[in-house]
Chain A
Amino acid sequence: MRALIIDDSRAMRSILSRLMTGLGFEVVTASNGLEGMERLQEDDGIGLALVDWNLPEMNGLEFVQSVRSDPSFETIRLIMVTTETEKERVVAALDAGVDEYVMKPFTEAILAEKLSFLGLLPKVNRG
C-alpha cells in the first residue's frame, strides 16, 4: 500500500518517509494540503495519508475536510500528525473525520501501533 505524507518541512518528510518505508510502505509526499489532494487524485494506489496540521496553502484540517467530502476517497485512512501543543485541536481533527492521530515526536513502534490499530499493518512487521 502507498502512504501519502504531507508535511511542509523537507526534513520531516524525510523522517516520516524513512519510518514508513521501514514499516513496509511505499511513500509519496506532498508539501501542503492542496498538493496532497492532487496526489490523491492522480494516484489511486494511496490508501493512507499522514497529514501534518500546520501547513501552508491548505492546512491539515482543511485537507481532512476536503478528503472526507469526496466520496471517492472514502476508503482512504487519515492519520493526523500533531504535537503536544496542538492537542486541543485533535478534537477538531477527529470531528472532521481523521481515523487516528499521532503526536510528535513518535517512535516507529508508536506509529506501527497506530497503523495496526487501523488494520493497515500486517502483524509480522511489528515489533
Chain B
Amino acid sequence: MSDVDPIIQEFLVESLENLEEVDRDLVGLEKDPENSEKINRIFRAIHTIKGTCGFLEFSLLESLAHSGEHLLSKLRDGKLEVSSGTTSLLLRLADAIRDILKRVEASGSDSGEDFEELREKLLATASRASDERVAENINEKEEKPDTQAQKAVSGGKQPKISLAGAETEQKRPSSEHSSGTRLAGRTPATSQKPSSLNETFVRVDVRILDRLMNLVGELVLTRNQLLGSQTTDPVEASAIQQLNHITGELQAGIMQTRMQPVSKILGRFPRLVRDLATSCNKKAELTIEGQETELDRSLIEAIRDPLTHLVRNAVDHGLETPSERKEASKPELGRIWIRAFHESGQVTLEIEDDGRGIDFEEIREKAIEKGIVPRSYAEQLDRDECLRLLFTPGFSTSQSVSNISGRGVGLDVVRSNIEKVNGMIDLESQPGKGTVFRLRIPLTLAIMPAIVLRCAGQLYAIPQSSVKELVRADEGGEGHRIEKIHGAPVLRLRGSLLPLLSLRKELQLDSDDDPASPSILVVQAGDRRFGLIIDDVEDTQEIVVKPLGSMLERIPIYAGATIMGDGKVALILDTLGLAQRAHVIAESSEIRNQVEAPVLLNEMKEGFLIFRSPDDGRMAVHLGPLIRLEKFREEKVEHLGGTRAIQYRGDILPLVPVLELLPERRKNVRALEKVEGEINVAIFESGGQTVGLLIGPVVDIVEEEIEVRRPASRDGVSQVIVVDGRVTELLDVDDLVNKADLPLAVEAPAGKETT
C-alpha cells in the first residue's frame, strides 16, 4: 500500500467514491428512468475511470469500463430505455470494477479475473439498442428536446462522424442541433451541487489531524493550569484570558477538521435497500435526508454496522410484501427513510419505515415466554417499555430466521455498539403504520466528560455517561452494606442486589484490601449494572481520550488513557470490559437469578406512595392514579349502608378500607387506620370513579426503579416489591375498589342521595 504511486492511490480513492454515487444513481434511475442528470453522472464516472485507466495502463479495467460506457451512452442518448435489466447489469459492472480496484490496491496490477461474460453482456445489450430503438423512435410522437437533439445527430447519420467528414456535420447545425446538444450537456450541471469548491480543499493525512488534536489537548491542559494560577498582575491576567479564548477556538477548529459527513457511510444504502428488497420480493424505496450532517470520523465508522443492521431490519422485518401492503390499502412500494440531523449537541439518526410496525403486546408475550422478564414485571410495562424489550439480549422478533437479518445478532448488539460510543438508541412503533429507530450519537469521542477516581494511590478515569450513581458503603452504619452471597460481594441498593467488583482486585494491585468505607460507583454498561469499589472520587472533568499503544491495547479493562491537569497520564477504564468481569463473577457464584433483575434501556423509575401496614409491614400504591393525599378527622366519616364515605369538596367520597379488605392479618387494622383521631385518605381515580383509600400512616413517597419483584401472596396485592430495602406489598387498587362493593348510588353523580 505504502509504495503505491500516489496517483494510483488517488485514482482508487476517487473511483471508489464515484462508484458509490453510481450505485445511488442507478437505484434512483429505476424510479425515475428519464432522469438525464443521473444518467449523465453515471456515464461521467465510468467514463473517467476508463479514461484514467488508459494512462495507468490498466487495460483489463479499461476494457470493462469501456463496455459499460458504451451501454451508458446508449441510455444517455435515449437509444435504450433504462430497465431493471440494465440497472442490474450496471450494478454488476460497479461491483466488478470495485473488485478490480481492490486487486489493484493489493497487487498494483489489474490482471486477474477478467469479467469477460459481463463485458460481453454489456456490449450485447448496448448493441441491441441501436436496432430496436431507432425503429421505435419513429412512432414516438412526444420526445424530450434533448433526446430529440441527440437523435438528430445519431439517427440521421448513424455511422460515426470522422474528422474528415467534419464539414458535412458542421453545416448541419441548425439551431436545433447545436443548442440541443448544449442543453443536454448543461442540464445535469445546473441542478447539481456546486462542486467548484473542490480546489479550496486540501487533503490532509489523518495522522496529522490526530497529532494536532493531541497537541490541542495538551494546550488545553496547559491553559487550565494557567487559569488555576491566581495571578494579581492585570496584564498577565488579561493575557491568560486571551489565551483561554484562543485555545477554545483552536480546539473547536481542530475538532471541526476531524468531522466527516455521514454521507460517507450512507452512500451504499440505496443499493443495499434495493438488493435486499429484491431478494425478499419486496418493493422498497430509500430516502436519505441530511447526509451532509457531520460527525467525528471515528464515530462515523462506529455507527456503520449498527446502521446497516437497522436498515436491513427495516427491509426484512419492517416492510410487508407488496400483496400484504395492498391488503392493508397501502401503496405497494414500501418506504424507508434515513434522516440525520443535529440536535442539542448530538447527532440524531432516524431509520424509519412505513411497514407493519411492531405490536408491543406481542413483544410482551414473547419476552415472558422466553423468560427474559418475569410475567408480573412485564405486565407492568407500558407500550414504550415493551418495545424496548427488543434490545434485551436473546430477543428476536422474526418469526422465522430469515437469511437477511437473522444472523444471530440482534438489536442488543446494535444497542451495545451504540453505547460503546456513548450513544443511545430508542424506538417508536405503531402497528400497521411503521417503526422508527432513533440513534443519538455524541459529536466526538475524542473529548468526553469523565469521573476521575482514585484507587491505590493512582488516578483513573471512567466515562461519566456510564456512571449512574455514587454510593458510600459503611460497615455497620446506616448506609449501604456490602454483603456476600456465595462468597461474592454484592450491594443491597434500594432492594436490588448489585454485583460488586473491586477495582483493586481487578487490577491485581499489591495492596488489594479495599478501604473500610470505600466508595462504590454504580456503573451501567450495556444491559449490565454493577458496582465498582474504589477508594474515592477525585473530580469530574472533560478528558481527551488517547489510544494505548499496541503493547497495552489488549488489556480489556482499559479503554485508553488521558492526560490529567498535572501532566500525568491516567488510564481510562473500559466499563464494558469491567462489566464482563462483574458478570463472570455473578454467574460463577450462582447469584445470577437474584442479581440479574431485568434492566431496561432507560431508567424505569416508578412512583410509589408507601405506608405502614399492620405488623410494621409496608404497603405501596402506584402514584399514577393518585389524585391527592388528605387527612380527615375521624368524626367526619359517615356511614351509608355498608359503606363509609366522607364529604369532600362538595361531593361524596366513598372510602375503601384497604386494610380490612385484604384477607387475613386483620389484627391491628383499626388501630392503624386512625392516628390521634385522624385518618389518612389517598384519593384515587379508579374505573372512572373517584374513591378514597383508607390507608395506614404514610412512610414516604418515592420514585425509583424497582428491580426485585415477586408474585403477590394474597388477593388485592398485585405484587411484592422491594423498596428501600423493605419488602413492600404493592396494592391492586382497582381490585380493592371492586371488592369494596361500593353502592352504585355513590358512584353516580354523587350528592343527591345524601341530602
Give the B-binding residues of A (Cβ under 8 A): 8-12, 14-15, 18, 29-32, 34-35, 38, 54, 56-59, 61-62, 83, 85, 87-88, 90-92, 94-95, 104-105
CB distance from A104 to the nearest CB of B (A): 5
Q: How far is the CB of A21 from chain B (nearest CB, A)?
A: 12
8 Å CB contact of B199 from A29, A54, A105? A29
Contact with B189, one of A57, A87, A92, A95 (Cβ below 8 angstroms): A57
30 of the cross-chain contacts (CB-CB < 8 Å) are: A9-B52, A10-B10, A10-B13, A11-B15, A12-B52, A12-B55, A14-B10, A15-B7, A18-B7, A29-B199, A30-B199, A31-B198, A38-B196, A54-B43, A54-B47, A56-B189, A59-B185, A59-B186, A83-B50, A85-B66, A85-B70, A85-B73, A88-B153, A88-B161, A88-B169, A95-B170, A104-B51, A104-B54, A105-B54, A105-B55
In the complex, what's the smallest C-beta–C-beta distance from B375 to chain A, in angstroms?
Answer: 62
Task: Tell whether B407 is near chain A: CB-to-CB under 8 Å.
Answer: no
- B6 is contacted by which of A14, A30, A62 (Cβ under 8 Å)? A14
| B166 within 8 Å of A (CB atoms) | yes
**Complex interface bits, B168-201 against A, C-beta within 8 A gives 1, otherwise 0:** 0110000000100110011011001011101100
Given A8-B44, A62-B185, verify A31-B160 contact (CB < 8 Å). no
A10 & B196 in contact (Cβ 8 Å cutoff): no
Q: Is B464 an interface residue (CB 8 A)?
A: no
Contacts of A31 in B (CB 8 A): 195-196, 198-199
Cβ distance A63 to chain B, nearest Cβ, rounded Å: 11
Residues of B within 8 A of A91 (CB): 161, 163, 166, 169-170
A30 to B54 Cα, complex, angstroms? 21
Task: Tell me how far the C-beta of B242 lies from the nearest C-beta in chain A, rounded to whole angstroms.
Answer: 36
Question: Contact: A92 with B196, CB < 8 Å?
Answer: no
State whether the Cβ of B377 lies closer than 8 Å to any Cβ in chain A.
no
When distances are taken between beta carbons in the complex, the residues of chain A under 8 Å from B47 are 54, 83, 85
Which residues of the partner chain A approach B15 to less than 8 Å between Cβ atoms?
11
- The listed residue (A61, A62, A94, A105) touching B51 by CB distance below 8 A is A105
CB pair A57 B194 closer than 8 Å? yes
Q: Which 3 A-B pairs have the closest CB atoms?
A: A105-B54, A11-B11, A91-B166
Contact yes or no, A104 B55, CB < 8 A: yes
B1-46, CB < 8 A from A? 6-7, 10-11, 13-15, 43-44
Report the Cα distance A21→B52, complex, angstroms: 18
Point out the residue from A11, A61, A90, A105 that lies within 8 Å of B10, measured CB to CB.
A11
A85 in contact with B69 (CB, 8 Å): yes
Q: In the complex, what distance in Å separates the CA atom of A70 from the CA atom of B312? A: 55
Q: Chain A residues with Cβ under 8 A from B194's Cβ?
A: 57
Q: How far is the CA of A11 from the CA of B7 in the complex (A)?
A: 6
* B127 contacts chain A at the CB level, 8 A cutoff: no
Contact A11 B52 (CB under 8 A): yes
The answer to whether A56 touches B7 (Cβ under 8 A) is no
In chain B, residues 254-298, which have Cβ atoms closer than 8 Å to a Cβ of chain A? none
B48 within 8 A of A: yes
* Contact residues in B for A58 (Cβ distance below 8 Å): 189
A57 in contact with B196 (CB, 8 Å): yes
* Chain A residues whose C-beta falls within 8 Å of the C-beta of B14 in the assembled complex: 9-11
CA gap between A41 and B181 in the complex, in Å = 27
Interchain CB contact (< 8 A) of A54 among B44, B55, B170, B178: B44
Task: Say whether chain B's binding surface is mostly helix, strand, loop, or mixed.
Answer: helix
Q: How far is the CA of A61 from the CA of B186 in the complex (A)?
A: 10
**Which has the most chain B C-beta neighbours within 10 Å: A10, A30, A87?**
A10
Nearest-Cβ distance from residue A89 to partner chain B, whole angstroms: 8
Give the complex CA separation of A88 and B154 in angstroms. Answer: 11
Q: For residue A59, which residues in chain B have a CB less than 8 angstroms away from its CB?
A: 185-186, 189
Q: Residue on A with the closest CB to B153? A: A88
A59 to B187, CA, bound (A): 11
- A92 x B181 contact (CB < 8 A): yes
Complex: A85 Cα to B195 Cα, angstroms: 25
Q: In the docked arrangement, what's the CA distance between A18 and B52, Å?
A: 13
A9 touches B48 (CB 8 A): yes
Contacts A11-B52, A56-B188, A104-B54 given; indicate if A62 touches B196 (C-beta within 8 A).
no
In the complex the two chains form, is A35's CB within 8 Å of B160's CB?
no
Contact A14 B48 (CB under 8 A): no
Q: Which residues of B contact A11 (CB under 8 A)?
A: 7, 10-11, 14-15, 48, 52
Question: A residues within 8 A CB of B44?
Answer: 8, 54, 56
- Is the Cβ of A57 less than 8 Å from the Cβ of B195? yes
Contacting residues, chain B, for A30 (C-beta < 8 A): 199
Partner of B192, one of A10, A18, A57: A57
| Contact across chains for B198 and A12 when beta carbons are under 8 A apart | no
Chain B nearest CB from A127 CB (Å) reads: 20
Contacts of A104 in B (CB 8 A): 51, 54-55
Question: In the assembly, what is the distance between CA of A105 and CA of B47, in Å?
Answer: 12
Chain A: minimal CB distance from B177 (Å): 10
B216 to chain A, nearest CB (A): 29
* Cross-chain contact B51 with A12 (CB below 8 angstroms): yes
A8/B196 in contact, CB under 8 A: no
Given A11-B7, A31-B195, A62 and B182 touching (CB < 8 A)? yes
A31 CB to closest chain B CB, in angstroms? 4
B48 to chain A minimum Cβ distance, whole angstroms, is 5
Contact A14 B170 (CB under 8 A): no
CA–CA, A83 to B66, complex, Å?
11
Contact A8 B199 (CB under 8 A): no
Measured CB to CB, the closest approach of chain A to B195, in angstroms, equals 6
B133 CB to nearest A CB, Å: 18
For residue A32, which residues in chain B have a CB less than 8 angstroms away from its CB?
189, 195-196
Kindly list 16 other residue pairs between chains A and B, CB separation below 8 angstroms, not including A11-B48, A32-B189, A91-B163. Answer: A9-B14, A10-B10, A11-B14, A12-B52, A15-B52, A15-B55, A29-B199, A30-B199, A31-B198, A56-B195, A87-B162, A88-B161, A91-B166, A92-B181, A94-B166, A104-B54
Q: How far is the CB of A68 from chain B (nearest CB, A)?
A: 14
Q: Which residues of B contact A87 (CB under 8 A)?
A: 160, 162-163
Report the minimal beta-carbon distance from B85 to chain A, rounded to whole angstroms.
23
Chain B residue nearest to A11 (CB atoms) is B11
Bound CA span A90–B161, Å: 10
Tell me the residues in window 618-651 of chain B with beta carbons closer than 8 Å to chain A beta carbons. none
Cα–Cα, bound, A112→B433 (Å): 66
Distance to closest chain B CB from A52 (angstroms): 8
Task: State A57–B197 Cα separation when bound (angstroms).
Answer: 12
Question: Within 8 Å CB of B6, what residues of A?
Answer: 14
Complex Cα spacing A92 to B13, Å = 33
CB distance from A107 to the nearest CB of B (A): 9
Taking CB atoms, residues of chain A closer than 8 Å to B51 are 9, 12, 83, 104-105
Which residues of the partner chain A approach B192 to less than 8 Å between Cβ atoms?
A: 56-57
Closest CB-CB distance, B20 to chain A, in whole Å? 15
Q: Which single residue of chain A is at the shortest CB-CB distance from B196?
A: A35
B186 CB to nearest A CB, Å: 7
Q: How far is the CA of A87 from the CA of B159 in the complex (A)?
A: 13
| Residues from chain B with Cβ under 8 Å of A62 in the complex | 182, 185-186
A83 to chain B, nearest CB (A): 6
Cβ contacts under 8 Å, B186 to chain A: 59, 62
Give A98 Cβ to nearest chain B Cβ, in Å: 13
- Residue among B6, B48, B53, B181 with max Cβ neighbours from chain A (10 Å): B48
Report yes or no: B199 in contact with A35, Cβ–Cβ below 8 A: yes
Q: Mark B495-535, 1 if CB is under 8 A from A, else 0.
A: 00000000000000000000000000000000000000000
B194 to chain A, nearest CB (A): 7
Q: Mark B57-75, 1 if CB is under 8 A from A, else 0.
A: 0000000001001100100
